[in-house]
Amino acid sequence: MDRLIYTVASGTKHILDKQATTSNNLANVSTTGFRAQLDNFRAVPVQGEGMPTRAFVVDNTVGADFSAGAMQVTGRDLDVAVKGRGWIAVQNQDGSESYTRNGALQISPNGLLQTQGGMSIAGEGGPITIPPDTTVSIGADGTIATLSSTETPSVSTVLGRIKLVNPNEADLVRGSDGMFRMRDGSNAPADATVAVAGGALEGSNVSAIESMVDMISLARSFETQMSMLKNAENNAAKATQILALT
Q: What is the pLDDT of residues 56-67, one digit of tens each?
A: 667 666 788 999
Confidence of residue 30 (pLDDT cuts 50, 70, 90): very high
Same domain assignment for residues 56 and 79: no
Q: Which amino acid, one-letter code, is at 126?
A: G
Angle of the 208-245 helix axis to the 2-27 helix axis, nearest 10: 160
pLDDT in tens, 122-164: 998 889 999 988 899 999 999 999 988 877 767 788 999 999 9
Task: Judge whether residue 180 has pLDDT over 70.
Answer: yes
Q: List the beta bridge partners of residue 182.
A: 172
Domain that holds residue 185: 71-202
**d(Cα 87, Cα 187) in Å, to the nearest integer?**
12
Average pLDDT, rounded, for the chain: 87
Contact 4, 234 (CB under 8 A): no
Task: Judge whether residue 101 has pLDDT over 60.
Answer: yes
Same domain assignment for residues 148 and 219: no
Contact 107, 134 (CB under 8 A): no
Same domain assignment for residues 120 and 149: yes
Average pLDDT of the residues in 91-108: 92
Task: Judge whether residue 13 has pLDDT over 90.
Answer: no
Contact 195, 88 (CB under 8 A): no
Same domain assignment for residues 158 and 231: no
Confidence of residue 225 (pLDDT cuts 50, 70, 90): confident
What CA–CA distances, in Å, run from 185 to 76, 126, 171?
33, 19, 10
Q: Flag the least confident range among 39-53, 76-90, 229-243.
A: 39-53
Q: Flag the least confident range among 28-42, 45-59, 68-82, 120-134.
A: 45-59
pLDDT of residue 99: 96
**d(Cα 118, Cα 205) in Å, to the nearest integer?**
23
Same domain assignment for residues 89 and 160: yes
Within 10 angstroms of residue 65's Cβ, the number of other Cβ atoms is 15
Q: Flag the least confident range among 7-11, 205-209, 219-223, 236-240.
A: 7-11
Same domain assignment for residues 129 and 192: yes
